[in-house]
A and B are shown apart, each in its own frame.
Chain A
Amino acid sequence: MGRRVGVGFVLQPEERYLGLLEPVFGELGDYFEIAPETTWWAEEDGSLRTNGFAERFAELGERWAPASAVSKPFVAHGVGLSLGGARPEDRPRQRRWQRRIAEDHRRFNFAWLSDHLAVTDIGGEAHALPLPLVPTPTVAALVRRRLAELRSIVPAVAVENAAHMFTFGDPLEETELIAGVLELPGSHLLLDLYNLVMMAENMGFAAADYLARIDLSRVIELHIAGGSWSPDGWLPSGRSYLLDSHSSAVPEAVWSLLEQVLPRCTGLRGVTLERMEGTVGEGDVRAIEAELRRLRAVVEASG
């Protein structure tokens, strides 16, 4: 029996985005991906409560449920868990987030949970931008420990390869960090193909060299997206970088990589098209629909 790979789409906490795209992702998506923290707000004591988007996302899941289920499936993809952070002082926050995720899981029944191979709570500051990790055994152990805690909440967990503007040395060392993290049994990789293309372009390596160093059988999910170049005037040097902005069409380099890796990702369960809130107007809807249809065709052609 062949594997069953779903096609997913990201739900963002923005009414305009959801309103414009609902007919598209409702009809063409097999599952919805959400960032759990976009459905929260914090009380003064730090405890986390759900905002209106938790209800909104759940309603969308129920409205577009397949005939045999009460909801369209959900997967969780966080940004702020800070899996690789080293500060012991961040542990209480992480525990609060884990408790909140456990409550969210009771509502959404996440098929799997992922976050970035990065640090976001850095030196006690919440910088929101996932920042790179030093590829050392100590860091791999920190990430494994957090993943093991999360796996006790959602049985399938994954880390996503990075989209950074700098690294602590050779960017290909990230593959060694991933291997160290995946020593945790039952953990997986979320391979973001746009991130890989972006890093290869900005850091000057070949995506194929990166792919040759990772175990693709551990990939549970693939991400595809499009981005933009930083304006020339942002840096005194005048240099532009490809940004992880999820703001435009998926480039052909990403589609090409997708076709290459799909047959090799033997444990794959889903491919998700990502798009950022604030980047979708009425004129983008048909293009996103076409991308989802193309994605399904590519997935089905891969067997």
Chain B
Amino acid sequence: MGVDTIDILDDTALAAACRKGDTVAFECLVRRHQRMLLNVAFRITGVYEDACDVVQDAFIAAWRKMSDYRGDAKFSTWMTAIVINLSRNRLQKLQVQAKRTSYSLNETFPGGDCAIIQDPPSGRPSALHQLEEEELRNALNSCIEALTPEFREVIVLRDMQEMSYEEVSNVLKVREGTVKSRLFRARDSVKACIKKRLGSL
């Protein structure tokens, strides 16, 4: 299959070509979806290198199991489910490693929940105008990382990747009602976390 014709094909047609062993078609799928999948993996694992490994492993697994993909769901949804599973595994390994890592009791924490909270500012403009954009983003990332994996997954998929409730439900294998419930609680948690870190929004 030619490179020019491949670019105009949809994911289902490319996946069908991949099932016949067409690596050019698969490369096209990789280029299309690797960015989105990398962001999902990065938001869940929190480490860029780990996210790259997860995406790489996910595409290799997809190539092996391409015969299992029958086009019932979107290719991106199928790939996102693979990435979510691999990210969970990677996150568990990281957590186990973190538990085994020794630390000093005298060492002070550079940040996190134990950081000293500044006194609530009064009479000042809102946080969005006070803080630099980067500082706000850092706070947001930290708050997302502080969420439990279940809440983090829904907020990443729905609010950051803007997937539909149905897609999120398919990826996470939970009901739509559960997705909404988790999402609203996750938003409240992130909002409270940012206010706690920055004083206000």
- Whether A associates with B in a native complex is no
Q: Which residues of A contact B (CB under 8 A)?
A: none
Q: Which residues of B contact A (CB under 8 A)?
A: none
